[in-house]
Amino acid sequence: MRLADLGEFGFIGRVAAKAAVAPGVVLGIGDDTAVTSPTPGMHTLATADLLAEGVHFNLEWIDPYTLGRKSLAVNLSDMAAMGGIPRHAILSLAVPAQMSVEFLDSFMAGFIDQAARFGVSLIGGDTSASLGGLFINVTLMGEQYPQKVITRGGARAGDLICVSGTLGDSALGLEMLRSGRAPWGSLRRHLDPEPRVGLGLALAEAAIPTAMIDISDGLVADLGHIMRLSACGGRVELSSLPLSSEYRESLAGYAADPYRLTLGGGEDYELLFTLPAARVEEARILGEANGVAISVIGSVVAEPGITLLGEDGLSYEAPKRGYDHFSAT
Amino acid sequence: MRLADLGEFGFIGRVAAKAAVAPGVVLGIGDDTAVTSPTPGMHTLATADLLAEGVHFNLEWIDPYTLGRKSLAVNLSDMAAMGGIPRHAILSLAVPAQMSVEFLDSFMAGFIDQAARFGVSLIGGDTSASLGGLFINVTLMGEQYPQKVITRGGARAGDLICVSGTLGDSALGLEMLRSGRAPWGSLRRHLDPEPRVGLGLALAEAAIPTAMIDISDGLVADLGHIMRLSACGGRVELSSLPLSSEYRESLAGYAADPYRLTLGGGEDYELLFTLPAARVEEARILGEANGVAISVIGSVVAEPGITLLGEDGLSYEAPKRGYDHFSAT
């Protein structure tokens, strides 16, 4: 079926019928605004991510169901990085006229299934025609008690730097996609990232991290955000970076330097956080409880800047420092 | 200056420096999520509007400052239609590489000036490259006490139907733009609509409307939304439709039928609401206090559907019934 046959309001009606409504949603899709009821005593957390065709995704590489999952996952990862409880999503879509209803139905199924996994209600949005490819914007709102919110700004000299999961898999997957040689399984980390919502929440509940961020721009760039806002610096030992066995096995032919993609590749959607040394074991236990390993990769120092120490103990120069959407390089 | 020279983080830094931070904003631009503090006892209201280049705006017809104002105004109009107090905005932009920093600076100045007029803080967003024109998504959050929120669903048979301001000016402005014959002044209503935030709030505070919506899709379509959700019907007398003197004077040459653009043109961003007949005078006084006339244009009836009565008292067939983004017609 063509979108023109279903119509904008037909599409909205189909979506509204499928959107789960959780407690706290007073009025979902279908009025001028959605209405929700905040949990007394909690702050509201809000974040948005825009995914543009040809920039963030290529429809030859990702199926619509997985794209629906990913468009919410990248926002859930931001919510996790604050220790927030995800609650409500608002989805805006600009859709090329030739796109099929089946494509959009599959996209929405992926989005709504992902939302259901994390207790998120789709409460509103907007749909538009597009003359220039598919554009997806998701605004995600969440909640948390004020004293439990973890910002980027609380790292202190002497803290340890930790990361969840493994790094570089997503960036390697993207390089494999670009080369046209990749089996789908190895691309999962790039196409269908798993936001660390449970871990972020558990760490925040236990008040373990002094600062936290999710790695979307790349380890060096995102650690730089923490250190700049915390007015500290970071020393990272490359030999401590967690690499998956798939990453080690697949790397040959894509990168001579095993660290380039782990330091600057981005889109890992792992949690990067600092904590007092005395609390590392608690963090590791919470990682295990949430099915993801926690690795100590370095420490916070008083001097600003990020220092990378190679396996030889000498300073290492990172080849790439994160993704800039407007940069020509 | 080219955007590539400023960079994504340079642009975000410039925006963050200009974004006013009002009470209730705990953490604005610059972390994984924004953090706000809800007013105890109030519900949260949230809405989003996506503006796509070539669909919602044409850069030959609108300057960047006015586009910045309009991209927030259309959301403020939705907030007004609920009787909500606008609070926080999240702005996502997908920007073509060739766009200048000066263009974006002017766009942001318009957005932030409009936000300041209505006490709105820009608390976050996302920026991306675009391979297909400029895309703007604004999510606006607001607040209101539960019992004061006005939905689309409360109209009752016997209520009167009212509208603020005048209708058709925006649609006529668009036709004038398309014809290439328009002086800028007459296009203000299309390019730079004034959201009826003060009026919507005053009506809600006084608990006058039984149902309310803003006219974005066109009078007939938006009245249809109210009546469907209220399980009622509406009778509208065309002779009661408020037409501006500019509209009457400029109409010749654009439309033989003076009502077509007022019924289906859309983008009026006036408030359309129903109320008990006994409260019309109160509504008129609140209109005066907010600098906008209130007109009674018809009444709510038990039978579903919208009936339009021409000046001859006979039923009138509307030529166009609102804008559908996915419709081929």
What is the average pLDDT across A215-226? 96
| CATH number of the domain located at residue range(s) A8-148 in this protein | 3.30.1330.10
**Predicted local confidence at residue B216, as pLDDT:** 95
Question: Which residue, among A213, A210, A237, has the nearest Cα to A224 in the 3D structure?
Answer: A213
Q: Which residue of A has its CA nearest to B130?
A: A52
Cβ separation B326–A81 shorter than 8 A: no
What residue has token string 């993801």?
Answer: A292
pLDDT class of B288 with cuts at 50, 70, 90: very high
> For residue B159, what pLDDT band results from cuts at 50, 70 and 90?
very high
SS3 B140: strand
Of A36, A52, A90, the CB nearest to B128: A52
Share of chain B above pLDDT 90, in %: 74
Q: Which of B109, B104, B49 is closest to B74 using CA atoms?
A: B49
pLDDT (0 to 100) of residue B329: 43
Q: What is the CA radius of gyration of chain B?
A: 20
pLDDT, residue A324, reads 66
Write out pLDDT tens, residues B169-195.
Answer: 999 988 888 888 766 666 888 999 999
Q: From B126, which residue of chain A is nearest by alpha-carbon distance?
A: A49
Look up the pTM and report it: 0.94
In degrees rounded to 5, what are phi and psi of residue A121? Answer: -100, 135
- Does the pLDDT of residue A237 top 70, yes or no? yes
Closest-CA distance of chain B to residue A127, Å: 7
Binary contact (B43, A33; C-beta < 8 A): no
**Distance in angstroms (rounded) separating the CA atoms of residues A219 and A238:** 11
Q: What is the mean pLDDT of residues A106-128?
A: 96
Q: Do domains A8-148 and A160-309 have the same CATH topology?
A: no
Cβ-defined contact of A133 to B128 (cutoff 8 Å): no
pLDDT at A93 > cutoff 60:
yes
Which residues of chain A make contact with B214, given a CB cutoff of 8 A? Answer: 32
pLDDT value of residue B318: 67
pLDDT band at B10 (very low <50, low <70, confident <90, very high): confident
Mutate to test the interface with A, among B5, B45, B91, B326 (most CBs of A within 10 A): B326
The distance of A265 to chain B (nearest Cα, Å) reads 17
Q: Give residue B207's Cα distance to chain centre.
A: 21
Angstrom distance (rounded) from CA B92 to CA B139: 8
The radius of gyration of chain A from alpha carbons, rounded to an integer in Å, stands at 20
- How far off is chain A from B129, nearest CA to CA, in Å? 5
pLDDT, position A321: 52
What residues in A contact B132, CB-CB < 8 Å?
52-54, 130-133, 135
Inter-chain residue contact B137 with A48, CB threshold 8 Å: yes
pLDDT of A322 above 60: no
Q: Tokens 């202190």 appear where? A: A156
Which of B4, B30, B94 lies nearest to residue A50, judging by beta carbons?
B94
What tokens appear for A194 in the block? 């798993």
CA distances from residue B177 to A68, A293, B189, B226, B326 in whole angstroms, order as listed: 38, 60, 12, 31, 23
Instruction: Report pLDDT for B256.
Output: 75
A325 with B8: Cβ contact below 8 A: yes
The number of beta carbons lying within 10 Å of the beta carbon of residue A114 is 23
Question: Which carries the bigger pLDDT value, residue A328 or residue B90?
Answer: B90
Average pLDDT over residues B29-42: 95
Given pLDDT bands bounded at 50, 70 and 90, which one contains residue A118?
A: very high
Q: What is the pLDDT of residues B202-228, one digit of tens each?
A: 999 999 999 999 999 999 999 999 999
Residue range A196-208: mean pLDDT, rounded: 98
Residue A69 has pLDDT above 80, yes or no: yes
What mean pLDDT value characterizes chain B? 92
Return the CATH superfamily for domain B3-148: PurM-like, N-terminal domain (3.30.1330.10)
DSSP state of B2: B
Closest to B267 (Cα-Cα) out of B194, B202, B181: B194
pLDDT at B150 exceeding the cut of 60: yes
What would the two tokens of residue B121 be?
């803080």
pLDDT (average), residues B303-323: 80
Say yes or no for a CB contact (<8 Å) between A90 and B139.
yes
| Nearest residue to A85 via CA among A164, A202, A193, A194 | A202
Contacts of B212 in chain A (CB under 8 A): 32
Looking at this predicted complex, what is its ipTM? Answer: 0.93
Confidence grade of residue B320 (pLDDT, cut at 50, 70, 90): low
**Whether the predicted pLDDT of A329 surpasses 50:** no
Topology of the domain covering B160-309: Phosphoribosyl-aminoimidazole Synthetase; Chain A, domain 2 (3.90.650)
Interface A–B counts its CB contacts (< 8 A) at: 258
Domain boundaries, chain A: 8-148, 160-309
Contact A48 B142 (CB under 8 A): no
Average pLDDT of B283-289? 98
Q: How far is B328 from chain A (nearest CA, A)?
A: 5
Distance from CA of A303 to the nearest CA of B (A): 22
Judge: A44–B27 Cβ closer than 8 Å, yes or no. no
**Where does chain B show beta strands of DSSP type E?**
25-27, 34-36, 43-52, 85-96, 121-130, 135-144, 160-164, 211-214, 233-237, 271-275, 294-301, 305-309
Summarised one tens digit per residue, pLDDT across range A293-312 is 999 999 999 999 999 999 88
Chain B: closest CA distance from residue A259 (Å): 24
Is B142 in Cβ contact with A90 (below 8 Å)?
A: no
- Asked if A7's CB is within 8 angstroms of B326's CB, the reply is yes
* B21 three-state secondary structure: coil
Cβ–Cβ below 8 Å for B46 and A33: yes
pLDDT bin (cut points 50, 70, 90) of residue A50 is very high
Q: Would you state the pLDDT for residue B323?
A: 61
- The residue to which tokens 């038990």 are assigned: B302
Q: What is the pLDDT of residues B59-89, one digit of tens each?
A: 999 999 999 999 999 999 999 999 999 999 9
Q: A264, A322 in Cβ contact below 8 A?
A: yes
| pLDDT of A287 | 98
pLDDT at A326 > cutoff 70: no
Contact A126 B137 (CB under 8 A): yes
Closest CA to B69 of B150, B144, B161, B136: B136
Residue A23, Cβ density class (10 Å: 0-12 exposed, 13-18 middle, ≥19 buried): exposed
